Chain A
C-alpha cells in the first residue's frame, strides 16, 4: 500500500511538472504568435462559417462587427483583381488538386493595398467531401514590394547591358569602314607615289598608316569583346583537350622560349567551348609573354573542386603585377606596359573576365613583382 501511494505521488508530481512545462510552452507560443502578427482562420466548410482571430481583422483592415463570418466575407476583402483566381485557388485546394499557399492582395476600406501570404490545410470526410479548412495569413507587403523593386532594377540592368553591348557592337562595326579607307589609301599612296614624296612626307604617311592599322586592331578587338558569347552554346568538354589545343596554337612561342608547362589532370565540364579556349589562350599567352628577357617561363595549370564551383589556377614565374594594379588589369584596353616593350592591345584580360562571368565565376590575380602571378578563375557547377 505504502509503495502504491509513493508511486502515485511520484506520478502526480511528474504530471504536474509536465503540465507546468506545457503551460510554459503555451505562454511562449502565445507570445511568439502575438509578436509574429500572424492571423489564424478556421472555416467550417459544411455550414459556411468562417472564424477569424483578432489579428485577421488587423490584416484585412476591418472591424469585427463588419465581418459576416462567411466565405463571401473573406472574398469581399480581396483586391478586385484577385477575387476570381483567389476563389478558384480555394476550390482547387478543396478538391485536393493544389496546395493553398498563395500571395494575394487585400483592399482595405481606406483604399490601401496589402499583400497577404496564406497557408491552409483542408480536412475531408470519408467520402472525400471537404468539411473544414484552417490556416494562417500574414502580411508580406514589404517583402513583395522589395522583390518587385529588385525585379524591376534587374530588368532595367539587363536592358542597359544589352543596349551597351549593342552600342559597342555598332560603334566598332561602323568605325571599321572609315579606318579601312585610311589604311587602304595610305597603302596606295605609299605604293604608287612613293617616288614623288620626300623622306619626311613618307614618314608622315607611315605614321598615318600605322595608326590606322592600330585603330583597326583595337576596334576589331572591341568588336570581338562585344560579340563574345553572343551565339554561345554550352557543351560538355574535356578541359585537358582544350588546353592541349591552346598549347598547339602557341607551340612556336613555347618552343622558342623553352617554356616548361606542367598541367595537372583537369576535369570534364559543361562550358562554352570557344570562350573557354580564348580564356586559356589569353592566360597562357600572357604567361609566355610577360617574362623577363632570358628567363625560361614556367607555367603550372591546376584545378580543384570546390563546393559550388571549379577553381582553376594558372601560375607563372613572369614579371608579376604590382598590387595596386591587380584589380585594374581586367578592364578593357588597360595596359600596364609600354607597347614597345610588350605588344598587345590590352583587351585580353577583359575578355577573360567576361568569359569567367559568363560561366558564373570570377577571375582574380595573386602576384608579386619579379616572382610571378597566379591567375585564378572559377566556373560554376550549376551552369544553365
Chain B
C-alpha cells in the first residue's frame, strides 16, 4: 500500500460505475493509493455529466475520468461523446479511461471511434492504477 502521507498524484478524479460495491472498492483503493486531492464517485453517469456541465472554471475539470461502459441510464460511450464536446474538456485535456469487463469487439471498436484510447479491464488494482497514470498522464509512480 502506498503511504497516505505522500502528496496526491493528481488534482481531481471521477469514478463512474453503476455497481455500488465496485464504487465502494474504488473509494478504498483511491484513498489508500492517495490518488487525487479530490475524488468524486458516481453510480449514475447522468449525475456525473451534470457535475461536469456545472463546472465553470476549466481548472476544476478533472485530470482523469474512469468510466464503466455497461450502465443502464447513460452508457459509457454516450457519456464520453458528450464530455468530448464540452469546451472545458479541450482546455484541460482530461484523460478518459474505460474501465470495463466488456471484451466485446463492438465496445472496443466504438471506444476507438470515440477516440477513447485508454481501455482497461476490471478489476482495478493498485498496479493497474499506476499503469493508467503512466500511460494516460505521464505520471510515474514508483
Contacts and interface: CB of A to CB of B under 8 A. Distances in A.
Contact of B22 (A181, A188, A230): A181
Interface in A202-256: 223, 227, 230-231
Interface stretch (B53-61, B83-91, B100-108, B130-138): B100-108
Q: How large is the interface on B (under 10, 10 to 19, 20 to 34, 35 or more residues)?
A: 10 to 19
Interface string B74-115: 000000000000000000000000000111110000000000
Nearest to B101: A176
A188 B103 contact: no
Contacts of A173: 70, 101-102
B25 A185 contact: yes
Interface residues of A, number: 17
| B contacts with A: majority SS | loop
Given A180-B22, A181-B21, A185-B25, A192 B1 contact: yes
B105 A177 contact: no
Contacts of B70: 173
B19 A188 contact: no
Contact of A180 (B29, B105, B123): B123
Interface in B109-133: 122-125
Interface string A323-340: 000000000000000000
Interface in A167-213: 173, 176-178, 180-181, 183-185, 187-188, 191-192
Nearest to A178: B21
B103 A227 contact: yes
A181 B22 CA distance: 6
A184 B25 contact: yes
Nearest to B105: A231
Contacts of B105: 230-231
B7 interface: no
B32 to A, nearest CB: 8
Contact of B101 (A177, A187, A191, A227): A177
Nearest to B70: A173
Contacts of A185: 21, 25
Given A177-B22, A191-B1, A192-B1, A184 B123 contact: yes
Contact of B28 (A180, A183, A188, A227): A188
A183 B32 CA distance: 17
A177 B103 CA distance: 14
A181 B1 contact: no
The 4 lowest CB-CB distance pairs between A and B, nearest first, are: A180-B123, A181-B21, A231-B105, A176-B101
